[in-house]
Chains A and B, each alone.
Chain A
Amino acid sequence: MNLRRDVFQAIADPTRRAILLLVTSHSMTAGAIASNFDTARPTVSKHLKILTECELLQQTQNGREVYYTINAKKMKQIADFIEPFRQMWDERFNKLEDIMKNYKPEN
């Protein structure tokens, strides 16, 4: 539960969400990520640290460079969090649709 809360706090920040979007397509170094933002480099580093700590980002060492990639498994957990709720409403609405398709006014 605490871990999950951390994940939600991590993605609550707009810069951190933007970082996650950036690295979705390919892995990037901290420098490459920072060059996309006007914010100071240490601020971007702080965001990267938080995202890494709650396992939304993974680090891979390639020579002297550290690359950041998205942790798809963790991102899926966030989607899964809402999915049961969505399914419950989907089932209810499917039922509503079925009932009303067969609805005949009484008079």
Chain B
Amino acid sequence: MELKTKINAEEDKQELVITREFDLPVELLFKAYIEPQIVEQWMGTKVLKLESKKHGGYQFETSDAKGNVVVQMNGVIHEFVLNEKITRTFEMENSPFAVQLEFLEFKPLNDNRSKLTMQIVYKSNELRDQMLQLPFKQGLNMAHNRLEEICNKLK
């Protein structure tokens, strides 16, 4: 089976490229990146600030089931072209990881399909490899937290 989300991380580079094709018009795909309530749903994080414009910025915060903040993320937006591209930085606060640069390109494939290309540039090759190992644990934690929340509601 063809993988929907592909990652190209060449070994001697300090960047990686994530590509994904969506069964969505490019306008809807782009909307999922600029509407705070929608970002919250698919990223599984709280959106404290999201100014989708040049010189704008964003601030996300993820909490565990008990309400303790686990991760705080922020960045600034350098380029913003509606339905086409977002260039932004990404920083995980209080972590040893350096700021990374993200180039997001949104392209229509036809009226109902679109493609996202996300190029992430890291400070170093080593840092990239370390980051690659990190989100998995967080992703798992988040999934567990969500599971916990749902189970708590069932009580």
Contact residues of A with B, CB < 8 Å?
A: 8, 11-13, 17, 81-82, 84-97, 99-101, 103
Contacts and interface: CB of A to CB of B under 8 A. Distances in A.
B124 interface: no
B129 interface: yes
A86 B9 CA distance: 11
Interface of B: 3-7, 9, 11-12, 18, 20, 22-24, 28-29, 31-32, 38, 41-44, 116, 129, 132-133, 135-136, 139
13 contacts: A13-B12, A81-B132, A82-B7, A84-B135, A86-B5, A89-B7, A90-B4, A93-B5, A93-B22, A95-B42, A96-B29, A100-B24, A100-B32
B112 to A, nearest CB: 10
Contact of B20 (A13, A93, A100, A103): A93
Contact of B7 (A17, A85, A96): A85
Contact of B23 (A84, A97, A99): A97
Contacts of B12: 12-13
Given A12-B11, A100-B32, A103-B31, 4 more contacts: A84-B136, A86-B7, A90-B3, A97-B22
A105 to B, nearest CB: 9
Nearest to A86: B7
A82 B6 CA distance: 10
Contacts of B23: 97, 101
Contacts of A11: 11
Given A12-B11, A89-B5, A93-B4, A99 B136 contact: no
A96 B31 contact: no
A1 B82 CA distance: 42
Return the 9 tightest CB-CB contacts between A and B, nearest first. A84-B136, A90-B5, A88-B139, A96-B42, A12-B12, A95-B42, A100-B28, A86-B7, A12-B11
Contacts of A84: 133, 135-136, 139
A91 B28 contact: no
